[in-house]
Amino acid sequence: MKHLITTLALGAALSVSLAGANAATFQAVAPEKSSVTFSYKQMGVGMDGKFKKFTAQVNLDTAKPAQAKGRIDIDLASIDTGSSEADDEVVGKSWFNVAAYPKASFVLKSLKATGTNQYEATGQLTIKGQSRELQAPLKLSPQGALTGSFVLKRADYAIGEGMWAKFDVVANEITVNFNLNLK
């Protein structure tokens, strides 16, 4: 009897501590409620756009963030810059060269908790055949909304070559924002 009570008490304590840490597991992403957007400066004007098609895979147990796995693959041809003229331009050779490199990918290498519902992701970003490691701070709501952003330098990935290579018209820094709805 005493043994049973101890077991129950331990069990209760364990579930309380788990509930306190809001431990949750997420294994999929709802694409229709997720978004990948970007913003940059053009002639000093703040511009923004989005990618309409991407896939994301996430396997996250918030109790064990170190074991998290995830990746995002973006269909670059699905870009929406807000202008069809620009959409046609950026899929071309000097920008994304979609014919040769249809996708951009971010593959998670490590995830560490930095606070309540806050993480830092380190991963490999590959665009146009160029791979670079980057860090991005993430926020995860208890409902599973994972949001984060990072700034990439387009020159690092040869995005905008030739006449576009200078930064006086289109800035080098591109902010990428993602909002993934985890299930």
Partner 1 sequence: MNSTYTPVAKGLHWLMAALIIGLLVLGIYMHELPLSPEKLQLYSWHKWAGVTVFLLVWLRLAWRLTHRPPALPEAMSPLMRLAAHTGHAALYALMVVIPLSGWLMSSAKGVQTVWFGVLPIPDLLARDKELGNLLQLVHKGLNITLMLTLAGHVGAALWHHFVLKDDTLRRMR
Where along the sequence are the contacts to partner 1 (CB under 8 A)? 42-48, 82-83, 85-86, 88-89, 163-164, 166, 168-170
CB of 147 to partner 1, least distance (A): 22
Of 31 and 82, the one with the shorter C-beta distance to partner 1 is 82
Of 90 and 140, the one with the shorter C-beta distance to partner 1 is 90
Of 95 and 178, the one with the shorter C-beta distance to partner 1 is 95
- Residues with Cβ within 8 Å of 93's Cβ and at least 6 positions away in sequence, in order, are 99, 161
Structure token pair of residue 121 = 């992701």
Cα angle 180, 124, 74 (rounded to 5 degrees) comes to 45
CB of 80 to partner 1, least distance (A): 10
Which residue type sits at 41?
A: K
Q: Where are the alpha helices (DSSP H) in 27-182?
A: 84-90
CB of 181 to partner 1, least distance (A): 23
Of 125 and 159, the one with the shorter C-beta distance to partner 1 is 159
Sign of CA dihedral 162, 167, 170, 171: positive
CB of 41 to partner 1, least distance (A): 9
- Residues with Cβ within 8 Å of 91's Cβ and at least 6 positions away in sequence, in order, are 76, 77, 79, 98
